[in-house]
């Protein structure tokens, strides 16, 4: 059912062969983003004589893995073919049988793997099993792109907590909200549409009690075709947020102080996490299988996470507007210029009238 028939010409022809097919495998894997946790998003392409004969991706935990769908699509065409897979094939019995067995039985001649499994107990075993069966295995093709795509899965396995993305939109004079109540959107349509795709592909979306109270955000992917709504997480130490707020839905989590009174939230089927610190909150969110968390503000919450060095990635929209008096996006302790935190792998993109700046603060969790 999930075997896809995307035409192979989607791949940029100019790339060397292995990278070209792995690009397609990564595109396929992206279709599972936000849906596979605690499993990783994985894509697979079976190539016979420079033609894709089987395509697959892992749609969600409990469903077959990408390799199985791709091999099903390829049928007898897999014999002597090359399999491109974005993560090392599993070699253990989980909820589904080992993919290494399926690949060996299919008769593929060569397997190209983007990245090894980050689980120390698994890493390398899948590749070894394939080599032991006489299959030629290449590892590391588009590894950086693959590990970026699998960053939530890797964070959960290696650090036991979600990958944290801080997002906000500010004016050219550095304000995220006007000084009075009744905030309109800071950024334009294209920027907001992009943010919807993040809500669709990350496991959970978080706001602080201040934002819940002032904006009552729905935190949905409304308007995004095929979008799914992430779990919502509200940070509210006193547990005094309104239960009528639009952010609450099945699967929502309240992060609150250890001694807060939470009976009403529990009665409303909201999962309660009790944490003294943002670090403890993240560990407990990891135990709830939240592998990636989009912090949507506001300044109080973002500053607390940045101050504790718990933000892995930053995505900021800058709108060409001057607001004057208003709320700053962050309240961080003063630093000298040479002490400023610098983002790595910075990207800058124009979205309608707005500019999107992204970059990394944390390291991609690897072995
Ligand atoms: N432009 C944008 O991108 C954007 C995005 C979001 C919000 N905003 C604006 O931001 C404003 C609200 O900002 P805000 O700073 O008042 O609200 P906030 O950051 O949403 O919430 C701050 C509150 O979160 C609670 N909290 C729970 N755990 C916390 C922790 N570990 N560290 C810090 N705070 C924690 C605290 O209240 P307790 O002590 O009661 O728990 C704190 O007062 C609104 O005007 C909104 O429009 C703008």
One domain, residues 128 and 164:
no
Catalytic residue among 63, 67, 88, 296: 67
Question: What beta strand segments (E) does 51-199 contain?
Answer: 51-57, 82-87, 110-115, 136-139, 163-171, 177-178
One domain, residues 181 and 319:
yes
In a domain, 325, yes or no: yes
Work out the widest C-alpha separation in the chain, in whole angstroms. Answer: 69
One domain, residues 222 and 137:
no
Alpha carbons 76 and 328: distance in angstroms, whole number: 61
Query: Measured in angstroms, how far is the CA atom of residue 27 from the centroid of ligand 1?
Result: 35
In a domain, 296, yes or no: yes
Cα 336 to chain center, whole Å?
33
Q: Choose one of 85, 117, 149: the last residue of a domain.
A: 149
Q: Return the CATH number at 203.
A: 3.40.430.10
Which of 300, 309, 310, 316 has most ligand 1 atoms within 8 Å of its beta carbon, as the pocket-test mutant? 300
One domain, residues 232 and 332:
yes
Q: Choose one of 127, 149, 171: the last residue of a domain.
A: 149
Q: Choose one of 106, 126, 149: the last residue of a domain.
A: 149
Query: Measured in angstroms, how far is the CA atom of residue 163 from the centroid of ligand 1?
Result: 20
The pLDDT value given to residue 4: 37
Alpha carbons 358 and 195: distance in angstroms, whole number: 12
Alpha carbons 13 and 33: distance in angstroms, whole number: 25
Which residues constitute the domain of residue 141?
8-149
One domain, residues 253 and 179:
yes
Residue of the nearest CA to atom 28 in ligand 1?
235
One domain, residues 143 and 178:
no
Q: Return the CATH number at 142.
A: 3.40.140.10
Query: Measured in angstroms, how far is the CA atom of residue 261 from the centroid of ligand 1?
Result: 20
Consecutive 10-residue averages of pLDDT for the chain (367 residues): 34 65 98 95 96 96 93 96 96 82 96 92 89 95 96 96 98 92 84 96 97 95 88 98 97 98 98 98 98 96 97 98 94 91 96 98 85
One domain, residues 170 and 145:
no
Q: How far are the Cα atoms of 112, 203, 259, 345 from residue 143, in angstroms, in the given order?
A: 11, 23, 45, 15
Alpha carbons 351 and 232: distance in angstroms, whole number: 26
Query: Measured in angstroms, how far is the CA atom of residue 170 from the centroid of ligand 1?
Result: 15
One domain, residues 195 and 144:
no
Residue of the nearest CA to atom 9 in ligand 1?
298
In a domain, 1, yes or no: no
Alpha carbons 353 and 190: distance in angstroms, whole number: 9
In a domain, 3, yes or no: no
The pLDDT value given to residue 182: 60
One domain, residues 213 and 263:
yes
The pLDDT value given to residue 11: 38
Question: Quick check: helix, strand or coil at residue 206?
Answer: strand
One domain, residues 124 and 235:
no
One domain, residues 16 and 138:
yes
Q: How many domains are contained in the chain? A: 2
Query: Measured in angstroms, how far is the CA atom of residue 308 from the centroid of ligand 1?
Result: 16
One domain, residues 190 and 124:
no
In a domain, 177, yes or no: yes
Q: Is 67 a catalytic residue?
A: yes
In a domain, 2, yes or no: no
The pLDDT value given to residue 5: 35
Alpha carbons 100 and 120: distance in angstroms, whole number: 18
Q: Cβ < 6 Å from ligand 1: which residues?
A: 168-169, 176-177, 183, 186, 207-211, 214-215, 235-238, 278, 296-301, 304, 327
**Nearest atom within ligand 1 for CA of residue 183:** 47
């Amino acid at each position: 059912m999930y075997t896809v028939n995307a035409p192979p010409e989607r791949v940029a022809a100019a790339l060397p062969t292995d990278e070209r097919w792995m690009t397609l495998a990564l595109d396929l894997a992206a279709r599972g983003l936000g849906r596979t946790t605690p499993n990783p998003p994985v894509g697979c392409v079976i190539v016979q004589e420079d033609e894709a004969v089987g395509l697959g991706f892992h749609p969600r935990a409990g469903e077959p893995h990408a390799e199985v769908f791709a091999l099903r699509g390829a049928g007898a065409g897999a014999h002597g073919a090359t399999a491109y897979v974005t993560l090392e094939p599993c070699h253990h019995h989980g909820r589904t049988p080992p993919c290494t067995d399926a690949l060996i039985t299919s008769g593929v001649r060569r397997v190209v793997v983007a990245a090894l499994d980050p689980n120390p107990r698994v890493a390398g075993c899948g590749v070894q099993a394939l080599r032991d069966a006489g299959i030629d295995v290449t590892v590391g093709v588009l590894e950086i792109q693959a590990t970026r795509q699998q960053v939530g899965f890797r964070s959960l396995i290696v650090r036991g907590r979600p990958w944290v993305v801080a997002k906000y939109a500010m004016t050219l004079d550095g304000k995220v909200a006007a000084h009075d109540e009744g905030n309109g959107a800071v950024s334009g349509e294209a920027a907001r549409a992009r943010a919807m795709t993040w809500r669709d592909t990350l496991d959970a979306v978080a706001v602080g009690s201040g934002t819940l109270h002032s904006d009552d955000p729905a935190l949905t992917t409304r308007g995004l075709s095929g979008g799914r709504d992430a779990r919502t997480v509200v940070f509210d130490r006193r547990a005094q947020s309104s239960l009528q707020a639009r952010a609450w839905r099945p699967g929502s989590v309240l992060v609150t102080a250890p001694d807060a009174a939470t009976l009403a939230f529990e009665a409303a089927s909201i999962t309660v996490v009790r944490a003294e610190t943002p670090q403890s909150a993240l560990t407990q969110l990891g135990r709830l299988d939240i592998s990636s968390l989009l912090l949507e503000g506001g300044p109080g919450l973002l500053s607390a996470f940045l101050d504790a060095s718990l933000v892995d990635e930053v995505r900021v929209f800058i709108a060409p507007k001057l607001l004057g008096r208003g709320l700053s996006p962050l309240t961080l302790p003063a630093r000298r210029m040479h002490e400023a935190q610098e983002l790595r792998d910075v990207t800058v993109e124009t979205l309608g009238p707005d500019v999107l700046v992204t970059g990394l603060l944390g390291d991609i969790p690897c072995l």
